[in-house]
Structure 1
Amino acid sequence: MKTKEIVSAALFITLSFIGANIKIMGSIAFDSMPGFLGALLLGPVYGAFIGMIGHFLTALLSGFPLSFPVHIVIMIDMAATMVIFSLVYRKVAEEEDFSLKAITLAGVLGVIMNGPVSLLMLTPLLLPAIGLAGMITLLPVVSGVAALNIVLACLVYKLLPNRIKKVRKKI
């Protein structure tokens, strides 16, 4: 690990803390935008770590409203989401600094992972507590906020100078 990547990851975690304070509903917030951006710039491992910590901070600030075990599952899902998002973008974009095709495909997969897949993983824990109606009600909120986080991360990534985006090729 290089100092530059560690410091960058720490800055993204700090941004996640700020995003964790911009809540939409309960522990659904703008904490994952830095994780998605970190996944694009620093790679899947850093992105996964940033995404996990970002959600943990949101859950902590919210008082773990759905229970600690639920938020552990969400943290695992966030890590998997960032890994898939980063790997798909890197594979499809290849050597391009910004690929609309890659960002669209990675973004759609990110929303699917963060929305329906996350809720499916949480079904054994949440279904008894909030019922099927509660699960269905969460789906558009979780998916919509995931999409907003991804769009914001992609806009920031697009606006960054190419010399900053070149770092991702070295990692």
Structure 2
Amino acid sequence: MRSKTFKLTLMGMFVALSFVGSYIKIPSPFQSIALDAMPAFLGGLMLGGVEGAVIGFLGHMLTAANAGFYLTLPIHLLVAAMMALTIYVYHWTYKKTNLAIAGIVGVFLNGVGAPLVLALMPQFGWGFFMGIAPFLTFASAVNVGISLVVFTAVKKTKFVQSIGLDYGK
């Protein structure tokens, strides 16, 4: 990586893309399912696990704030923390295995794991989980899938090689 400033600039761009992605909705009964996670998944692959986790946390908090914290601020802090953990594990899985397995792990953690944590809370329950998990899993597959396609394409470019991105490895 060229410099810390360059890495921070890319992180800021990915957070901004998360905000933009929050306006690209995936049809579901839940208004919050969108392409806002894709930049965090991509950042986790390109920049590293910690950097991707920061992007995921900040991206979620920014988009949740824009929507008025409809699940309350404490719940959105928990969701953002789960997003950060998901991105970190996604990156770690990619480093230890390959993109396909990392993709499966990312979809499972974001689509099933995150709502499962909320389902254990009395104000949500299993009905919430059963209602949101299929839609969130589909949205996670779309977000992760786009990140894998973009990452694979970007990894091959001479521009990216010339700026010294290490792809988080």
- TM-score bin, normalised by smaller chain: 0.7 to 0.9
Superposition TM-score, scaled by structure 1 size: 0.85
Q: What are structure 2's unaligned runs of at least 5 residues?
A: none
Structure 2 residue 119 is matched with structure 1 residue 128: no
Q: 1:27 touches 1:64 (CA, 8 Å); kept in 2? A: no
Are the structure 2 counterparts of residues 79 and 66 from structure 1 closer, same or farther at C-alpha, using a change threshold of 3 Å?
Answer: same
The amino acid of 2:9's aligned partner reads: V
2:90 aligns with 85
Identical-residue share of aligned pairs (%): 34
Output aligned runs, 1:10-159, within 5 Å. Answer: 10-24=12-26, 25-92=30-97, 102-125=98-121, 127-129=122-124, 131-159=125-153
* Distance in structure 1 (CA, Å) of the matches to 2:105 and 2:165: 24
Q: Alpha carbon RMSD of aligned pairs, Å?
A: 1.9
* Distance in structure 2 (CA, Å) of the matches to 1:140 and 1:16: 22
What is the number of equivalent residue pairs in this alignment? Answer: 160
Per-residue deviation, 1:132: 2.7
SS of equivalent residue, structure 1 residue 29: coil
Superposition TM-score, scaled by structure 2 size: 0.86
Runs of 4+ aligned residues of structure 1 deviating over 3 Å after TM superposition are none
* Distance in structure 1 (CA, Å) of the matches to 2:40 and 2:86: 10
Q: What are structure 1's unaligned runs of at least 5 residues?
A: 93-101
SS of equivalent residue, structure 1 residue 18: helix
SS of equivalent residue, structure 1 residue 76: helix
